[in-house]
Structure 1
Amino acid sequence: MSLRKVFRTRKFSRSFKEAPAVGAAEGGVTGNGVEHAHEDGWSNMLPEILCEIVRRVDAAEELWPNRQNVVSCACVCKRWRDITREVVREPLHTGKITFPSCLKQPGPREVPHQCLIKRNKKTSTFYLYLALTQSFTDKGKFLLAARRYRCGTHTEYIISLDADDLSQGSNAYVGKLSSDFLGTNFVIYDSQPPHSGAKPSSGRASRRFASKQISPQVPAGNFEVGQVSYKFNLLKSRGPRRMVCSMKSPVTPFKPTGETSESTSLDGHKMHDKEHPASGHTILKNKAPRWHEHLQCWCLNFHGRVTVASVKNFQLVATVDQSQPGGKGDEETVLLQFGKVGDDTFTMDYRQPLSAFQAFAICLTSFGTKLACE
C-alpha cells in the first residue's frame, strides 16, 4: 500500500489522536539526568522518511477538506510541525490556504482566490468562505467572521477566526476595522505587529484590552495596517463611490523551498528575500466604471462573478506611482473585486499583494449607507 493510501485510512487518523504529547514524544530527562526517548513515538521517525511523507501529503491535497491531513501532520508533535513548516509553501506560490497564518499572507500572483461573503442582517455578522466550486451557493471553507458594533460616534467590525466568538479578548481575534462618524474613513488594525519593533496604535479606539486584562502571552494593542477612504460626492456629479486604500504589505512567515538568500520573519522562522513582498505601502483605488448608454447605468466587467447591480460593487487596482494616491492605475490587473450575487451573498476575489484578512476588511467598508459618497 502506498504512503498516500496509508494516510487516508482511519487507522492512521486514529494514530494521530493516540500520538504522545510533544514533551514525551521528543524525549525527556530522567531523575539521574539521562535523556531518553520513547521508541514508539511518532517523533522518532527518520527525518528523511518524515519529510517525504509530509511532502507527499502536501502534493496530493489540493483543496479543503482534504488538506486537513496536512494540518494533522503539523499537530502530531513539535518535530512534525517543524518539518511541515519546511515543506508547506505560502499561498503566494501555491494558491493553497492551509493554516490560519495563511490568512495574513499575500494571495496568489496569477489566479486570484475566489471567496464568498455571507451576511446575517439580524446579527450584523459577516462570514468569509473560500469557494471550492464555481457555484454561488457553494458552502465553501470557512475562513473568517466579523461582527459590526456601534461604539459611540464610530462603528467597529471585530474580525475573528471563530464564528461563535467575536470579541477582542478571544484567542481567535485577528483584527478589527474602525470607521469615523460618517462611515467614509476606515482604519484596519491587526492583532499582530506587521514588522519587528512595531508599536501598537495609540488611542482608546485602537486598544484591545483594558489595563487589568493584559496577558503577557497576548499583544495588548492593535497595530494599524491599512486605511480606506471614500471620497465625498455631495453633488452626485462623479458617478459611483470612489475609494482609496493604503495598505501595508503582509508579512510572509513561512519558508519557501528551493531558494538560497534568507531572512527572518516575526515568529523566528527563516524566509527568503526574493519570495516575500517588499515592505512598505500599496496604494489602491477603485477602477473607473464606464457609462452604458443602453442600460443607463455605470458598468464594470466582473467576468461573471457579480450578478446583481449594487452601489457596493467595486474593483481595486494599484496606482503606478505608489507615492501619489491620485496616480494613474493599472486598469488590466484587478487586485480585489467585490460584488453582489444575492440578497445577502457577495463574492470577494483577491490576489497579491493583499491577504485574505486585508481583503475582507476592505470589503467590510462597503457595507452600510454612505449618503455623502453616493
Structure 2
Amino acid sequence: MPRQAAPASAPQNGEVAEVVEAEDQEERWARLLPELLSEVVRRVEASGGERWPARKDVVSCACVCRRWRDAAVAVVQPPSESGKITFPSSLKQPGPRELPMQCFIKRNKKNSTFYLYLGFTNSPMDKPMDKGKFLMAARRFRRGPHTEYIISLDAEDLSQGSNVYMGKLRSDFWGTNFKIYDSKPPYDGAKASSSQSSRRFGSRRISPQVLAGNYEVGQVSYKYNLLKSRGPRRMYCTLECPSAQETWENSLKTKFRRPRGPTTLRNKAPRWHEHLQCWCLNFHGRVTVASVKNFQLVAAADPSDPTCTVDEETVLLQFGKVDDDMFTMDYRQPLSAFQAFAISLSSFGTKLACE
C-alpha cells in the first residue's frame, strides 16, 4: 500500500524550528528593560541622530509591545514641542506654537484622491514629493446631494469601514458649509453624530481598543457673495481644539477629558494691489500660483465678548497652490494636522455662490 503524502498545510521540522526561533527572538526583544529603551530614545532625541541610528528607526520600536510603546511615548516630545510628527496619534495633536508645520498636498484628479505629506524642504520648488513623509490621504465621494471626503492613514484603503479610518469632511448641497467628523470621541461622554452604529476595533496604528464612529468636531463655512463683488472667498471655521498638554497626556487614549470652548477662525483679509490689479496675501514664498482656493486663517475675535482679545495677525493655517496638482499647507497650534487637512480639503471644488 503506497504511503500517503503529508498534508500541504502541515509544517515540516525545519519550518517548526523557524517559527520557534522567531517566537524566541520576539520574546527576547520584549524582555528588554523599558528603562534601557528609554535611555536609548532619550539619547537619540538629545543628539539629533548624528551619532545614532535614524530617529524614525528608533521610535518605531514603540510597535513591539505595550511596555515599549509607553517607554517611547514618555520620552518623545509632542508635536507642539518637538515640531515633529512621530506617531499616528500626533496627527490629531496641536502643532507647534512658534513656527508652522510645513506640509504639502498632492492631488490626483483621476480618482479624486488627495495625499498629505510632511515636507522636508522649505522651498515648494524643490520637488517636495521626493522629500516628504506621507501622513494621510483622502478621497472625494458623492453621497446623494452631499460630497464627502473620507480621510485615512492608508493611501490605498480609503473606506469608512476600515480600521485606518481617521474621520471625514461632509458638505451641504451647495458646497459652502462643511462639517468635520472625527472617528474617535473628542472628549469623555461625546455622542456620535452618525446614525450608523459605532464599532470597536483594535489597531496599533491609532490606539488600542478605540470606539470608531463619527463625532462632529468642527464646521467650515463659506459666506455667500450674492453681489458677485471682486475678492477671495470668505471663510469661517469653528473647531474643538484641545490643549497641547492635555492631548499628550492622553495620547494612548487619544481623547481629552472634558469638552472645551470652540476655537473660531476666519480668513485673513487680503489687500488690493493697484499695480497688479488683484487681491494679495503674503505667503512668504510658500504659494506661487494665484488661485481662489488660496487662503490664510487667523483667530477671530468674539463680538459678544468685548473683553476677549485674540491675535488676529498670526496665521494659524495657510493653504495655496504651487503647481497644477500641488498645494502647500502650513499649520500651527491650536490646529492639528487632521483639522488642517480637513479645512484645506473644503477649499477644493467650485463654489458658485461664493465667487
Tell me what 2:9 maps to. none
Q: CA deviation at 1:238?
A: 5.9
Correspondences of 1:182-193 after superposition (within 5 Å): 182-193=174-185
Secondary structure of 1:285's match?
Answer: strand
Could you tell me which of 113, 117, 138 is aligned with 1:146? 138
Correspondences of 1:348-367 after superposition (within 5 Å): 348-367=329-348
CA contact (8 A) 1:193 1:223 kept: yes
The one-letter code sitting in structure 1 at the alignment partner of 2:217 is: V
Tell me what 2:98 maps to. 110
Q: CA deviation at 1:96?
A: 0.8
Tell me what 2:266 maps to. 285
Tell me what 1:71 maps to. 59
Tell me what 1:219 maps to. 211
Instruction: Find the aligned partners of 1:225 and 1:77 in 2 and give their Cα distance.
Output: 31
Secondary structure of 1:53's match?
Answer: helix
Tell me what 2:250 maps to. 265
CA contact (8 A) 2:296 2:318 kept: yes
Provide, for residues 135-176 of structure 1, a one-character-per-residue CA deviation record: whole Å limited to 9, x for no partner: 421120000100000000110000000010100011110000
Correspondences of 1:52-63 after superposition (within 5 Å): 52-61=39-48
Q: Does 1:51 align with 2:38?
A: yes
Provide, for residues 45-94 of structure 1, a one-character-per-residue CA deviation record: whole Å limited to 9, x for no partner: 4454332112112334579x933223322123222211111101110111
Q: Does 1:240 align with 2:232?
A: yes
TM-score, normalisation: structure 2? 0.82
Correspondences of 1:291-330 after superposition (within 5 Å): 291-321=272-302, 330=311
Q: 1:252 to 1:352 in 2, by over 3 A?
A: closer
Could you tell me which of 334, 339, 344 is aligned with 2:325? 344
Secondary structure of 2:43's match?
Answer: helix
Provide, for residues 201-223 of structure 1, a one-character-per-residue CA deviation record: whole Å limited to 9, x for no partner: 1xxxx34x5x5x84565635200
Q: 1:352 to 1:291 in 2, by over 3 A?
A: same
CA contact (8 A) 1:253 1:266 kept: no
Secondary structure of 2:57's match?
Answer: helix
Q: 1:128 to 1:47 in 2, by over 3 A?
A: closer
Instruction: Find the aligned partners of 1:351 and 1:53 in 2 and give their Cα distance.
Output: 29
CA contact (8 A) 2:187 2:259 kept: no
Runs (5+) with no aligned partner, structure 2: 1-20, 202-208
TM-score, normalisation: structure 1? 0.78
Q: CA deviation at 1:353?
A: 0.2
Q: CA deviation at 1:19?
A: 7.4
Secondary structure of 2:211's match?
Answer: coil
Tell me what 2:120 maps to. 132
CA contact (8 A) 1:252 1:265 kept: no
Q: CA deviation at 1:117?
A: 0.5
Secondary structure of 1:361's match?
Answer: helix
CA contact (8 A) 1:285 1:318 kept: yes
